[in-house]
Amino acid sequence: MKQIANVYVLLVLLVAAMPIAAQSDSEYFTPVFHPELTVSKAVGSIRIDGQIDDAGWIGSARATNFVEHYPGDQTKPAVATEALITYDESNLYVAFICYDDPGSIRSSISERDNIANDDYVQLCLDTYGDAAWAYVLYVNPYGIQGDAMWANAGGEDDSYDLIWESAGLVTDTGYQVELAVPFSSLRFSRDNDQVWRVDFGRKHPREVQAEYSWAAYSRDENCWPCQWGTVNGISGVKPGRGLEFTPALVAYQSGERGETPDGTEPGEFVNHDPDGDLSLWARYGVSSEATVEMTVNPDFSQIEADAGQIDVNTTFALFYPERRPFFQEGSDIFRTPIRTLYTRAINDPEYAAKATMRSGRTSLGYLVARDRESYVYLPSEEQSFGVAAGPSTSNVLRLRQAVAGGSQVGLVVTDQRFGAGWSNSTITHEGRFRLTPSVRAQYQIALSHVGESDDAELSAEIPDSHLLWNDRYTRSLDGESFWGTQSLASVVWWTSSWNASLTYLDASPTFHHYLALIRQNHYRNLASVIGYFHRPQSGLFETINPHVRAESEWNWTGTNKYTTYELCLWTRLRKAQASFYSQYVGKSESFGGVDYDNTWYWYQDATMSLGDPIRLFVAVTYGHRIARRHSALGKILDLNLSLDIKPHDRLLLQQWFDHARATRVDDGEELYDGYIYRTRLNYQVSRPLSARLVIEYDDFYKTWRVDPMITYRLNPFSVLYAGMTSNYQRLASFAPDGELSYANRLSSRQIFLKLQYLFQI
């Protein structure tokens, strides 16, 4: 028995030893959640050149043990990464050492904020540690920058710009990156000893687009900054103060084609005399927590015109992104679950001013602007109406209070005053609460007041219609005064395997919010979603995500406007940067007083990267949907295509093609058929100097647009632009024999030069 026992013990020991002998290094890997790092002051100077050989890096704190949080679940990365961090009186310094095969690194010399398809590293800074908002900085291996502002309400805003320094260098063992972030560019508390939430990240795009981070992430946690690491040891530094001002000079020469006296043919093209404007944008750091900005006679022109959007099957106003620097700066503080400020509603201001303050967990913002020519969209149940409302003065006040654990409450007050006694005021209260790591709830309630103009000329532009079921108010601008309400309530549950949400949203028939571009009112909406994430350990698919969605909407009289259900499937391949999405939608809808009981459509899209040089997106929609401008059931076919081709690390060609077609289901009559084609060619001559050409054709309106431009950019706010915008139109003319002919002719053109420079005192 003793011998048997000895043999048994020996077998147990051998079996126990076998896995140990067979284990790889990755099986010993231990991810670290909420890591901590203590930073010391630099012992010498640091030059930002990508070399990481300056005396200032000696003894700096070092972050290692990076984890792969996507697609792996806190596993050991395929390549190693280290991050170094130190500081002096003026700057926070961070360096990344990224080990890799240098021949496989993807990088480009491109415009700022255009490195999404490259290898890059990422620095995340939550300087107040309350998960309300954070800075996110990106750098590719050539040192090209990208930056964004992350906010609890709305995620990342990549239009945000920050002044900082970076450099990158490809080495024999991979690549290195150095960053210097001036404390004058950051906001943080007045405490002598700083405690920040920080994370270091790296994107590694190969067959699989992997993402690494210093802090391990739980997939059952839906608060991103809550999972970052902690950095201690920064002391005796001060945040941004002082004066910055940016004067700008804009010179331009424009022209357009007139008409012949009888209006039957296009006239001669007339060039106007050159003209120009001076403007000023100034910012003053009143204290470490408060900043005041103002601009006088600003140039709020778009350097690159908005991309065309197909609007043949919508009755609501289109939404365009904000690119104007004054409104981009500090935009995170005004964000709410339902938009309460659409800054492009401030169209052409004579002046604007803004003040923001951050004290502890409290944020305060105030914006005032005087608009030369406002354009107002009046919402209704099934369409919105635009009115040129003349000059206006807008005021926006924002108060936000962060609560521990990534929760917050807030208040927004807006007021817009026009001529002839016309006004629109709102007060909005919202809250976002992190109930558990996996459950988040939010609400928003708003009260609006409208004091209408009684301008008969303006009112004539709007079809008269009753707003309320009790026939109390009309849509016309006839001097009425009324209140309206809007509300939102939602709860979201998100884990590594399951996600679900329930959302209620409404707006009364009299709710108007001009500064938020509220395009629809008179509805109550209830929607729910439930989905499942399956991540196979092997095989073709990396992720399989089926989900279902149901939604119903009623107007305030109780009439059901539509009921819809959706069956959806999203998948991502394991060994290629490709994903596929399929959606079937069935819908019963009432529109224009007609019931459409059986509308449906299929939507399919695919996103793929064919190596580094080519990225492709294709989407197709087919089915029976309402052709709203024709009040008919249409057989629709939509095609959306985008293609990025990078034949060289300095050259990028981008193509977009959007096509929409509909025929009447009953008799096959064509309702609409057209497309918008847009191409953008960008060549980066050097890091500051670039040239680009945009060509767009709108088949619906038979118009061409050609926009060449040269840009020299020292930093986000010191820039020289020289360019031209030319519009061509298909115009008719009569030949001497009286025969009618058509040709594309130049209809308008503007040549411009813009110079702006940031001075810091």
Q: Are residues 383 and 488 in the same domain?
A: yes
pLDDT of residue 712: 96
Given 514, 532, 550, the domain boundary residue is 532
- d(C-alpha 697, C-alpha 728), whole Å: 9
Enclosing domain of residue 139: 30-235
pLDDT at 719 over 60: yes
Same domain, 352 and 475: yes
Q: What is the pTM of this model?
A: 0.85
Domain finish residue from 497, 532, 567: 532
Q: Is the pLDDT of residue 734 over 70?
A: no
| Residue 466 confidence (pLDDT) above 80 | no
Q: Looking at residue 301, what is its pLDDT?
A: 55
> Would you say residue 197 lies in a domain?
yes
Pair (353, 440) in one structural domain: yes
| pLDDT tens for each residue of 335-350 | 899 999 998 888 888 9
Confidence of residue 299 (pLDDT cuts 50, 70, 90): low
Tokens of 642: 């985008």
Q: In this structure, is residue 549 part of a structural domain?
A: no
Rg for the chain, CA atoms, rounded: 29
E-strand stretches of 88-184: 91-99, 120-126, 133-139, 145-151, 155-157, 165-171, 174-182
- Whether 287 has a pLDDT exceeding 80, the answer reads no
Structure tokens at 441: 């709830």
Is residue 204 situated within a structural domain? yes
Label the pairing between strands 209-213 and 145-151.
unpaired
The residue with tokens 């959306």 is 640
637 falls within a domain: no
Cβ neighbourhood burial of 735 (10 Å; 0-12, 13-18, 19+): exposed
Q: What is the pLDDT of residues 428-441, one digit of tens each?
A: 999 999 899 899 99
Say what the pLDDT of residue 22 is: 34
User: Do 370 and 230 reside in the same domain of the chain?
Assistant: no
Least confident of 54-63, 73-82, 666-675, 733-742: 733-742
What is the mean predicted confidence (pLDDT) over 81-109?
95
Report the C-alpha gap between 134 and 148 in whole angstroms. Answer: 9
User: Same domain for 405 and 503?
Assistant: yes
Question: Would you say residue 8 has pLDDT above 60?
Answer: no
Give the pLDDT of residue 416. 96
Give the whole-number percent of the chain exceeding pLDDT 90: 60
CATH code for the domain of 168:
2.60.40.1190
Asked if the structure places residue 242 within a domain, the reply is: no
In a domain, 260, yes or no: no
92 with 213, same domain? yes
Q: Are residues 217 and 342 in the same domain?
A: no
Examine the domain organization and report whether 325 and 231 are in the same domain. Answer: no
Alpha carbon separation from 713 to 88, 137, 160 (Å, rounded): 27, 18, 16
Read off the pLDDT of residues 497-537 as tens digits, 9 standing for 90 and up: 999 999 999 999 999 999 998 989 999 999 999 999 999 98
Q: Are residues 387 and 506 in the same domain?
A: yes
Residue 509 DSSP one-character state: T
Query: Torsion angle, CA of 115/116/120/122, rounded to 10 degrees?
Result: 110
Count how many domains the chain has: 2
pLDDT band, very low/low/confident/very high, at 468 (cuts 50, 70, 90): low
Burial of 7 from C-beta contacts in 10 A (0-12 / 13-18 / 19+): exposed
Question: What pLDDT, on the 0 to 100 scale, is given for residue 4?
Answer: 35
Return the amino acid letter for 700.
F
Q: Quick one: 98 and 215 in the same domain?
A: yes
Residues 366 and 502 in one domain: yes
**Does 335 lie in the same domain as 190?**
no
Average the pLDDT over each of 4-18, 25-39, 396-410 and give the range with the smallest value: 4-18
**Domain stops at, among 532, 550, 583:** 532
> Is the residue at 141 inside a domain?
yes
Does 604 fall in a domain? no
